[in-house]
Amino acid sequence: MEQATWITDISMMHYLYLAVILFAIGIAGIFLNRRNLITILMSIEIMLIAVNINFVTFSTYYSNLEAQVFTIFILTVAAAEAAIGLAILVALYRNINTIDVRKINKLKG
């Protein structure tokens, strides 16, 4: 019973492994996806939030609040990048009328 405390005691490594798995799911979402561009943007958001988990975990377990300050910056950049990415998507859709990833293969429209 003593050795199974890794189940009931949540340590820093639990959160870090969770962040790794979420980051890997985000990566898989980018290159397993042949459907639409929005899935790629959503996978990028998943990757960013996995990194956020990492930062907040380190902030808690090392009692340093600067990591949470950096989390706010990551949040800001993620929101800005999502806005610009979607604006580019809308502008692209106006030109080629599809968001299929396979069709975006011409350099000059």
Partner 1 sequence: MSAFFYLFAFFSIFAATMVISVRNSVHGVLYLIFTFLNIAGLFILLGAEYIALTLIIVYVGAVAVLFLFVVMMLNIEMEAVRRSFIKYFPLGIIVVLIFIGLLSAAYMKQNQYKLNHPNTGTLITAKIETGHRSNIKELGKILYTDHFLSFQLCGLILFAAMLGAIVLTLSHSKKVRRQSIKQQTMRKPNETVQLVDVPSKAGLNVKY
* Ranges within 80-109 binding partner 1 (CB under 8 A): 80-84, 86-91, 93-94, 99
Cβ proximity to partner 1, 32 vs 107, nearer residue: 32
Q: Does 65 bind partner 1 (CB under 8 A)?
A: yes
Beta bridge partners of 100: 36
- In the complex, the smallest distance separating the C-beta of residue 78 from partner 1, rounded to whole angstroms, is 7
Q: Does 57 bind partner 1 (CB under 8 A)?
A: yes
- In the complex, the smallest distance separating the C-beta of residue 86 from partner 1, rounded to whole angstroms, is 5
- Report the sign of the C-alpha dihedral through residues 33, 36, 38, 40, in that order: positive
Q: Does 51 bind partner 1 (CB under 8 A)?
A: no
Q: How far apart are CA 50 and CA 44, in angstroms?
A: 10
- In the complex, the smallest distance separating the C-beta of residue 1 from partner 1, rounded to whole angstroms, is 15
Cα distances (angstroms) measured from residue 44 to each of 2, 13, 40, 61, 70: 40, 23, 6, 26, 18
Residues 9-48 that bind partner 1 (CB under 8 A): 9-18, 20-29, 31-36, 38-39, 41-43, 45-46
Q: How many CB atoms within 10 Å of residue 51?
A: 17
Q: Does 69 bind partner 1 (CB under 8 A)?
A: yes
Q: How many CB atoms within 10 Å of residue 52?
A: 20
